[in-house]
Amino acid sequence: MRPNANQWKPRLLIGSMSILALCINSHFLGKVEAKRIQEVKQQEIQVQVAEEKKTAQNAAAEHAQFVARYVSGNFAAKTGNRNVAVAVATEDVKLDRAITTALVRRFQKESAHVLSPFFKPEFVSDGLFQEAFNGSGEPFGKLDLARSLDGVVLAQLDVQYAQNATLENVISATMQLKVTVVPVSNPAGGQTWTFTAYGPGFSKEVARKAAEDLLIKQITNDTNMSLDAIP
């Protein structure tokens, strides 16, 4: 006996509606899942950006702290004159203030804007001075010197003592100063001058002071040094 067609219609309608509901539900769930995945990705991107920003900020802070260890402050470069800083290192790896002052005054005659005091004692004690004096440009880059300076005047002091028994044990101090003018843009293109002075005394301190005073006079009266190496 053949089934009545009217009996299948409700079943077909129910089946069709079930399939339609399933399709709608799947489509809706798919959109929800896609939105969730997109939100997760956005959160991951935001976290990555925040981490990168924090890393950059930490690096900038560390670099600023590094520069502050060796440079006295943020000096603004002046246009029209060459911007120059001076550092004099003693034989016991310290900054010599007296000779630094003499060189600052001497090079102010060269139409230069001399920034002083510019370097801190750590510039010498930590070895950056010696690197730069030997012709390396690495310290200049690490300290961003090109932002403030066109060049540097680096001077290295050496002192030798001798005792003369025939002159009531008078001590003689032989002081030699090598002065190098170095352009920041070309550390290997510097120019060097050498000064020598002798000082007597009954102690090393007195002999050294006598030699230093004569050396300062030589610097003050010098007409040979120049900043021509600095563009």
Q: Are 134 and 64 in contact (CB under 8 A)?
A: no
171 three-state secondary structure: strand
Instruction: Specify the CATH number for the domain of residue 173.
Output: 3.30.160
Q: What dihedral do alpha carbons 162, 165, 167, 169 form, nearest 10°?
A: 70
Rounded Cα distance between 231 and 227, Å, is: 8
Backbone angles phi, psi at 69, to 5 degrees: -70, -30
Q: What pLDDT sits at residue 223?
A: 94
Q: Extract the runs of DSSP E, i.e. beta strands, from the chain.
A: 82-89, 112-115, 151-164, 170-183, 191-201
* pLDDT tens-digit series, residues 84-141: 999 999 999 999 999 999 999 999 888 788 988 899 999 999 999 999 999 999 999 9
* Model pTM score: 0.76
Q: What pLDDT sits at residue 26?
A: 64
Q: Does the residue 154 lie in any domain?
A: yes
Q: Does the residue 215 lie in any domain?
A: yes
At residue 173 the predicted structure's pLDDT band, cuts being 50, 70 and 90, is: very high
Q: Does the residue 197 lie in any domain?
A: yes
pLDDT-wise least confident of 8-17, 69-78, 147-156, 214-223: 8-17
Q: Does the residue 21 lie in any domain?
A: no
- pLDDT at position 38 over 80: no
Q: What pLDDT sits at residue 184?
A: 94
Query: Mean pLDDT over all residues of the chain?
Result: 85
Q: Does the residue 13 lie in any domain?
A: no
Q: Does the residue 5 lie in any domain?
A: no
The alpha carbon of residue 166 and the mean position of all alpha carbons in its chain are separated, in whole angstroms, by 52
Separate counts of helices (H) and strands (E) for the chain: 6, 5
Q: Does the residue 138 lie in any domain?
A: yes
Domain that holds residue 168: 71-221
* pLDDT tens-digit series, residues 41-84: 777 777 777 777 776 777 778 888 999 999 986 565 566 678 99
Q: Does the residue 9 lie in any domain?
A: no
Average pLDDT estimate for 170-184: 95
- pLDDT at position 31 over 80: no
Say which residue, 86 or 12, is predicted with more confidence. Answer: 86
Rounded Cα distance between 90 and 157, Å, is: 5
At residue 9 the predicted structure's pLDDT band, cuts being 50, 70 and 90, is: low
Total of domains in the chain: 1
At residue 14 the predicted structure's pLDDT band, cuts being 50, 70 and 90, is: low
Say which residue, 165 or 82, is predicted with more confidence. Answer: 82
